Structure 1
Amino acid sequence: MHRKPRVERFNESVLSKYQIYNSIFMTLPFDEITNTGVLLPLFTETCVKGFEENKDPEAIVDAFFRQYFENPNEEERFSLMFRFIQYIERQVVLFDAIEDAAFEVVNNMNGRGTLRNVKEEAEAKGVMNELRDFLEHFKVRPVLTAHPTQFYPGSVLGIITDLDQAIRANDLSFIKKLLAQLGKTPFFKKEKPTPYDEAVSLIWYLENVFYHSISTIFGYLKSNIYGDMPLNNEVLNLGFWPGGDRDGNPFVDSETTLKVADRLRSTVLKNYYRDVRRLRRRITFRIVDKMSSDLEQKLYDNIFLDHGRIDITAEEMLNTLQEIRDILINKHQSLFVEQVDDLINKVHLFGFYFASLDIRQDSRVHHDVMSHIVKESREMGLDIFPDNYEDLGESEQVNILSEVKGKLDPANLNHEMASKTLGSIYAIKTIQTNNGELGCNRYIISNNGSVLNVMEAFAMIRLCDWEQPTVDVIPLFETVDDLRVAHEVMETLYNNPEYAAHLERRGNKQTIMLGFSDGTKDGGYLMANWSIYKAKEALSRVSREYGIEVMFFDGRGGPPARGGGKTHQFYASLGPTIENKEIQLTIQGQTISSNFGTLASCQYNLEQLLSAGIMNGIDLSAHATLDENCRSTMEELATLSYQAYTDFKNHPCFVPYLEHMSTLKYYAKTNIGSRPSKRGKSDKLIFSDLRAIPFVGSWSQLKQNVPGFFGVGYAIEKFKDRGEIDKVKDLYENSAFFRTLIENSMMSLTKSFFKLTAYMANDPEYGEFWNLIYDEYQRSKAMILEISGYEELMQDSMTMKASIQVREQIVLPLLTIQQYALLQLQKLNKGKDDPEKREILERMVTRSLYGNINASRNSA
């Protein structure tokens, strides 16, 4: 059958359907005033025309009210704008649901990057044995985080799911009812979610999506690649941060961690219980019917138990299922054995923990905690640290921390954070007792820059009555400076006798985390990515020298500026100089719902990640190792862009511009995440306190997307000015790594829209700064088109570009309203204040921010 081009399939199955269902949606009355749906298209048209005529948002809004109203008062104007925001939020949900429903039509589920395609390529090249050997050791580990980049209330998530199914079935009557329900269901959260609320929201995806998709993939590998041979590796693991991520989140405590671990366990038991019930309807034969009935009852009895009271283990369940399987094979002609196999696979994959809960804390917190532990242990008369510990040099302190062990009771510590930090370690031990070791066995140290940072955490773990801890200590290197010394830090640790003994007990495996988000914020787009690439090479080299199997865990966000974008292409491009035993990455916010929100998209994107690792690992792809000329060009591009970004970051207007001209300070008011929007308690905005998400997100709301391109054009133009642009073209042609970086940067540029904020060019305080950003945008766009040979941005990704364009069109009026409100607030700041009006305008900014965050599924 002839298959239409992907972009045509998108236009037919997504765009056309959206236009039809949106026209229905716009006619539905959601409140007493029924003309909102009629007026919104007119307002959208006014916005498009206004920006084409280079009008500012205030002039556009005024023109709309002049044309369609007779002298409306301020209250009427504000009321209509809030209703527009409500409509647009729901248009985004409608588009999400239509895109989800069409996923299998738009994407080729057996095409490039799928497991079927990998198998066919391996067969064609005669490397099936190599493929099987590789999969015995290779893993992909998506780690779900609650980083606040999207959070629909549970009720809205349910409507999206139902809409998806109704759209697939073309059930127009039910679609209309769901659209009406959507119109009346509140989106905005009046209160911040707790860390536990965040965990429950994400466990929904584990229960309804990952549970099924991962077992389907594992079943395919066993049946189609291994056949009768055993597969002794899960291949896919799940990680989980909500409830364990303490970094900058004062609301996460040990009780929350234990509660989340209990919820994870009870949810996976609930899924097993449902599967056993389905199995019982089929295996109605003597002996096995009783065995399955007993297992069902035991699972039910354990679903809702508190921590510490569970009386069935994953091993017991597996033994029972294995016995049932043997009886079915030997006595019942293997009837329904495939259903038993599926459940056995699931218990192997998810155990009684579902997803491994990671604990994370900042090294600066650890350092402060350790100083209090030293002081208080001395006051208790415990002989743990020498009296002069705090006067010693770093290497001497490391030596002492290496030897430290004992049993400190958190309840005996007066310092609150010290007590909480040790409490979190005791929580790990409790979870391991109840859910199994894999339930919680990783402790991540963010902002890690030294050996001391690692050893302080290691010592604290051993001070919790845990001389030989069954937990991995994972340093997270984030800034450019920390990445430069990462391999030296690890080499020192590999040479430390106590730490080396710990690694030996852990199978000589070391996981190292690298943070794209803060790396980009610190060093700019090219330097952050190149620094991580080089750090991975150096860490691979030093780990191989010491016989340590290193696994890299990438802290990635959704947008390219935080390490997102075309993730599978990035992993397929790394080459043999970087260790490739596992792909571990954080999946955040809207990336969870957009890439893993449905069974089809979850399976497809997990397969893409798996195939990226396989192609890199057994050389099915055409990636090339960077030669010396390419390395030299990449190094200079990164250095030049870093200089440009550093000068930009040090500009006296940089922080004030974000503070006064962007939505940065409104992020804290959106109530989409439990974490504070910045580190530190200072009222003054300090760059180092800024979290990467509000930082990148604020540029996104301005439609300027600075972190995804700034310095790229400057660096390439320097090569052009000296007649050496061919070197950059060669790098683009020959390096899949660089090509992926540039293609992701194209996405950031595509989502930029400078006409929205062009009025700032005339601002007496920030006009010059705005022009500086706009000039670099123009330069980057021109230079990227020149080296790629493209006539337009994202020329190779027209379907994704089409999706972006629809979303940008939907949210244009939302962004216009946001900028209008910001302009009105600036007027209030300069003139006479009106507290009541200020409150309304600030709410308008926050609401439009919230809607735009949710719209930015593949946010830049």
Structure 2
Amino acid sequence: MPGLTTLDTPDKDQPLRDDIRLLGRILGNTVRSQEGEAVFEIVERIRQTSIRFHREEDEAARHELEELLNSLSLAQTSRIVRAFSYFSHLANIAEDQHHIRRNRAHALAGSTTPRPGSMDCALAHARDAGITAAQLQAFFDDAHISPVLTAHPTEVQRKSILTREMEIAHLMAERELYRMTPDEERANEEALCRAVLTLWQTNILRRTKLTVIDEVVNGLSFYDYTFLKQLPRLYVTLEDQLRATVPGWNGHELPSFLRIGSWIGGDRDGNPFVTADVLRKAMRMQSSQAIRFYLEELFLLGNELSLNSRAVTVSDQLLELIKRSPDGSPRQDEPYRRAIGGIYARLAATGRELSQLQAPHRHWPHGEPYTDAAELRADLDLLDRSLVANGSAALARGRLRSLRRAVDIFGFHLASIDLRQNSDVHERTVAELLSSAGTEGDYLSLSEEERIALLLAEMSSPRPLSSSFLTYSDETNSELNILRTAADARRRYGACAVTNCIISKADGVSDILEVAVLLKEAGLLRPREGVLDLNIIPLFETIGDLRNAPQVMDRLFSIPEYKALLDSRGGVQEVMLGYSDSNKDGGFLTSGWELYKAEIALVEVFRGHGVKLRLFHGRGGSVGRGGGPSYQAILAQPGGAVQGKIRITEQGEVIAGKYSNPEVGRRNLETMAAATLEATLLQPEHAAPREEYLATMQELSNHAFRAYRGLVYETEGFERYFWESTVIGEIANLNIGSRPASRKKSTRIEDLRAIPWVFSWAQCRLMLPGWYGFGTAVKAWLAANPKDGMAKLQAMHREWPFFQTLLSNMDMVLSKSNIAIASRYAEMVSDPALREAIFSRIRTEWQDTIDALLTITGQSELLESNPLLARSIRNRFPYLDPLNHVQVELLKRHRASGGDEQLANGIHLTINGVAAGLRNSG
């Protein structure tokens, strides 16, 4: 598309501008050829008018835009929305390729200053701090780092669209990596034109609502794209870095401390469609994905290791393996191929047994299935030792090295599936089991201490509560079945298949002990042996729960029976912190502060009881749900909170943004590992800001909390304002997730899930959950501290990583907001008095927040300290803003029509385009 604003940026950004122009030109030509010159000209008029409105809030531009959009037919509107949406998608591809280009340029330049977030940089910092090889080894031996993929209704891209975009990314990468002849360049551009045309002709929306199994399929895509190959590559690179740069490094292989987790297929909190059968299918599909990959790699490895027995010697152990091999290959003089053939045969038999997988290559003789992944790894290790001992170590460092690591990481299960359920469900299930078993009294009427006593007695008893001769409610049967399925999955696929049981809305010790009792029913807690097979993880979500979390854990650790079970888990207790619900409950500033305080208090409680802490951060994609750059977020944790162990949820469209491109994906995984190393080894264990900073934050939080609660929960009519001025009603019906938008059938803000809450505010470009209340808080603080109040806030920003990260994320959110566009959404509120009362408050708070942020950070404009993001936003706004204007017009028509299906389809197209343009909206 022509007309992209030329930016005065350094020469290093010229390739990005060139890529955007190329892709924009191809898209423009596609629109012309497919839809006609008239449609293309309308697109350009809308874009130019939108730019005037964006820059000047020009009333003439507003009226011109409204008249233009009102004059369009529904068919024209749909084509225009698709044009603007696809430009955002293509701009994302260009930006990702530019990040890869800049990383390569940095590496090729041989800079002596490693880039922040890289493992090179983390190891350099460790070296400068005097961290020894032994300390590094201890870190890696004890570390546990895991990004956890979750299925939530903000992932708006279809897999078909994602596949086409990956093809375009690959073609753009070719232009960068290879010096092309004119013919090759023409062929590449023709291929790009075909890919963009296919993209244009592919339905951007799902026609049917996603099932949980659809979500499993989507999640598995990222193992093909990134994880199965790039995660082993990361380990290989890191081991070589350590060997080359760390004096005294012993050269041993690192343990697999970085693994992928998943909630998809196990998270049943508020999702009635996650059942035991779904968990069983998800586990089978995961296993099939892992084993299929191993078989393919073995096949290629066999082709590579054509070593002849006349040219090489082999170990006695390899000869024994060959004797046991069912391989009937005529190549008797190629020992490694024969050994690999036997491994392949056994693995193929394993795939058939575990997941009904048919081997992708020629028929192999029957082999005995492997009992577990460790047995497969042992055979691969035997190949490795034979190669190394007989002069072929270089061959062992290739495909075999990566395959050995992949088997160690992914096993036969691919990824650990977490189980999650609401504490209310656990409570009802235990109550029914106790009642059916004839226990005296009503469990639900007991006090907390009475519940604890009863649950401890049941935990210690080998007698099961459930009986096959009794009839239970559907809910109780479902809970018992899913736990029994988890136990079966562990037996079939390995103990790592299911390792965690998370309790949503945990607010007391009994919530945790209830899960222990239920695990006993499935044989996952064995009282006589004193062994607990799964980690029981409380999730503290609301502001009140976060404040109460340290007391709950202190009481829990004071129970000898539970402490003994923890010992069987290595003395590690995981605690999950909820960013989304705490934000919806108390606002951005208070949520961040209460999370930080909870972590400080938990560190002290765990230290006092001698328990190792592992924090699980329930972060979403948007800042309003705890999102933002992972590197800064991990380093901003209070001292002692990381301890080499961290899990972080990856949600919504952020998963595709981080992990659909292999290079970008590996970089994100490396950044997470590097930040964890730095936060563990380079932060003093008792690091804390000055007491006056803590007191200041508390005051700011108090003011922000009152402002946020006053608007969202205490202003009469706010619920109506929200439902009329945003796309929440339309999002609830969009086919982008299996989970309902609300926990109950109501329009109450309290019942709405945090994900659609944040997503809706992002769509109307207010981003309210990411900043509201900060302006009021700063004004109140300055009024009480007129002399040095601002100087203190500025010092906090300079010296305190937590406050820096808080403001940096707010800076990003505000830069993506647009009060002029938001005002058009506010116009949809039918009551003029309500509209004016609430929107005027929001507008004032928005401006006060920006003014406060700029003064504290010393910036003259938003994102002044982040020119890369500022450039990205400026590039895409001329194509993003029109989507919002079209969305408003379609919403008006849709609501006036009483729910026209074609109009709903157009609205859903705009939702997809706006989400793509913002990149982290949910």
Q: TM-score, normalised by structure 2?
A: 0.86
Matched, 1:326 2:391: no
Equivalences for 1:54-69 in 2 at 5 Å?
A: 54-55=58-59, 59-64=63-68
Equivalent-residue separation in structure 2 for 1:237 and 1:483 (angstroms) = 27
CA contact (8 A) 1:132 1:225 kept: no
Q: CA–CA distance in 1 between the matches of 2:538 and 2:684?
A: 31
What is residue 69 of structure 1 aligned with on the other side?
none
Between the aligned partners of 2:282 and 2:800, the Cα distance in structure 1 is: 43
Query: Does the residue aligned with 1:296 lie in a helix, a strand or coil?
Result: helix
* 2:345 paired with 1:297: yes
Residue 412 of structure 1 and its aligned partner are, at CA, apart by 4.8
| Map of 1:230 onto structure 2 | 252
Write the deviation string for residues 386-417 of structure 1: whole angstroms up to 9, x where unpaired. Answer: 34544432211111112215443579543111
Q: Secondary structure of 2:268's partner?
A: coil
Structure 1 counterpart of 2:294: 272
Which residue matches 1:567? 630
Counterpart position of 1:382: none
Report if the CA contact (8 A) 1:283-1:289 is conserved. Answer: yes
Q: 1:89 aligns with which of 63, 67, 85?
A: 85
Which residue among 715, 727, 730 is the counterpart of 1:666? 730
**Do the aligned residues in 2 keep the contact of 1:615 with 1:621 (CA within 8 Å)?**
no
TM-score, with length taken from structure 1: 0.92
Partner of 2:169: 164
Separation (CA, whole Å) in 2 of partners of 1:480 and 1:199: 32
The answer to whether structure 1 residue 15 and structure 2 residue 78 are counterparts is no
Three-state SS of the structure 2 residue aligned to 1:398 is helix
Match of 2:123 in 1: 119
Q: Measure, in 1, the Cα distance between the counterparts of 2:662 and 2:902.
A: 41
Aligned counterparts of 1:488 and 1:389: Cα–Cα separation in 2: 23
Tell me if 1:551 matches 2:614.
yes
Q: Find the counterpart in structure 1 of residue 452 from structure 2.
A: 398
In the TM superposition, residue 235 of structure 1 has moved relative to its aligned partner by 2.2
**8 Å contact 2:443–2:451 — kept in the other structure?**
yes
Aligned partner of 1:705: which letter?
A: M
What are the within-5 Å matches in structure 2 for residues 684-703 of structure 1?
A: 684-703=746-765
Q: Report the alpha carbon displacement of residue 218 of structure 1 after superposing the two structures with TM.
A: 1.1
Residues 65/538 of structure 1: CA separation in 2 closer, same or farther (3 Å cut) = closer
On the 8 A contact 2:483/2:519 being kept in 1, the answer is yes
Q: 825, 845, 854: which one pairs with 2:907?
A: 845
C-alpha deviation, 1:53, in angstroms: 4.7
Stretches of structure 2 that go unaligned for 5 or more consecutive residues are 1-6, 108-113, 176-187, 244-248, 308-333, 358-367, 527-531
The answer to whether the 8 A contact 2:354-2:493 is kept is no
Partner residue in 2 for 1:102: 98
Query: C-alpha separation between the residues in 1 aligned to 2:35 and 2:869?
Result: 38
Q: CA deviation at 1:169?
A: 1.9
Partner of 2:151: 146
Same amino acid, percent of matched pairs: 25
- Code of the residue aligned with 2:883 in structure 1: it is L
Contact kept? 1:670, 1:847, Cα under 8 Å:
no
Report the Cα distance in structure 2 between the residues aligned to 1:23 and 1:522, rounded to whole angstroms.
46
After superposition, the CA RMSD in angstroms is 2.5
- Partner Cα separation in structure 2 for residue 623 and residue 467 of structure 1: 35
Task: Note the 1:520-559 alignment, pairs <5 A.
Answer: 520-559=583-622
More divergent stretch after superposition (814-823 vs 671-680) = 814-823
* Whole-angstrom distance in 1 between the partners of 2:871 and 2:617: 29
Residues 85-94 or 100-109, more deviating? 100-109
Give 1:242's match in structure 2, choosing from 259, 264, 267. 264
* 3-state SS of 1:249 partner: coil
Q: Does 1:336 align with 2:395?
A: yes
For the 8 Å contact 1:572–1:623, the answer to whether it is kept is no
Contact persistence 1:704–1:752 (CA under 8 A): yes
Residue-pair matches, total: 833
Could you tell me whether the CA contact under 8 Å between 2:577 and 2:615 is conserved in 1? yes
Deviations 1:284-305 (A, max 9, x none): 2343221111112222333354
Amino acid at match of 1:300: A
Q: Hey, what's the Cα distance between the residues in 2 that align with 1:37 and 1:496?
A: 70
Q: Which residue of 1 aligns with 2:182?
A: none
Q: Name the stretch that deviates more: 12-21 or 663-672.
A: 12-21
Matched, 1:430 2:488: yes
CA distance, structure 1, for counterparts of residue 880 and residue 29 of structure 2: 19
Counterpart of 2:715 in structure 1 is 651
Which residue does the alignment assign to 1:189?
A: 206
How far apart are residue 24 of structure 1 and its match? 2.0
SS at match of 1:511: strand
Structure 2 CA distance for aligned equivalents of residues 386 and 57 of structure 1: 74
Contact 2:541 2:579 in 1 (8 A): yes
Match of 1:347 among 407, 414, 425: 407
| Change in CA separation of 1:725 and 1:124 when aligned onto 2, cut-off 3 Å | closer
Please state how far the C-alpha of 1:513 moved relative to its aligned partner. Answer: 0.2
**SS in structure 1 at match of 2:646:** strand
Does 1:753 pair with 2:818? yes
- Shift in Å, 1:846: 2.7
- Match of residue 180 from structure 1: 197
Residue 735 of structure 1 corresponds to which residue in structure 2? 800
1:712 and 2:715 aligned = no
Question: Paired residue for 2:139?
Answer: 134
Helix, strand or coil for the counterpart of 2:738? coil
Give the stretch that moved more between structures: 345-354 or 838-847: 838-847
Distance 1:514 1:60, change over 3 A: farther
Matches within 5 A, 1:39-58: 39-51=42-54, 52-55=56-59
Letter of the 1:328 counterpart: L
**Segment drifting more, 582-591 vs 116-125:** 116-125
Q: 1:218 to 1:767 in 2, by over 3 A?
A: same
Letter of the 2:392 counterpart: Q
Conservation of the 8 A alpha-carbon contact between 2:628 and 2:809: yes
Of 480, 496, 516 in structure 2, the residue corresponding to residue 458 of structure 1 is 516
Counterpart of 2:10 in 1: which secondary structure?
Answer: helix
Q: Quick one: distance in 2 between partners of 1:668 and 1:212?
A: 37
1:290-689 equivalences in 2 (<5 Å): 290-306=338-354, 311-312=369-370, 313-339=372-398, 340-378=400-438, 385-404=439-458, 405=461, 406-407=463-464, 408=466, 412-468=470-526, 469-619=532-682, 625-649=688-712, 650-680=714-744, 682=745, 684-689=746-751
Which AA in structure 2 matches 1:399? A
Contact kept? 1:280, 1:293, Cα under 8 Å:
yes
The one-letter code of the counterpart of 1:414 is Y
Answer whether contact 2:291 2:347 (CA < 8 A) is retained: yes
The answer for the alignment partner of 1:217 in structure 2 is: 234
Does structure 2 retain, via aligned residues, the 8 Å contact 1:27–1:38?
Answer: no
CA deviation map 1:460-491 (0-9, x unaligned): 11122444231111000010100011011111
Does structure 2 conserve the Cα–Cα contact (< 8 Å) formed by 1:57 and 1:819?
A: no
* Shift in Å, 1:141: 0.6
Q: Distance in 2 between matches of 1:679 and 1:10?
A: 49
Deviations 1:541-563 (A, max 9, x none): 11111111010000001111111
- C-alpha contact 2:490 2:497 (8 A) present in aligned 1: yes
* TM-superposition CA deviations, 1:627-677 (whole Å, max 9, x none): 111111111111111111111122113211111111111112221111111
How far, CA to CA, are the matches of 1:277 and 1:427 in structure 2? 33
Amino acid at match of 1:316: E
Instruction: Say whether the 8 Å CA contact 1:244–1:359 is kept in structure 2.
Output: yes
1:831 matched residue in structure 2: none
Q: Distance in 2 between matches of 1:813 and 1:301?
A: 56
Shift of 1:10: 6.8
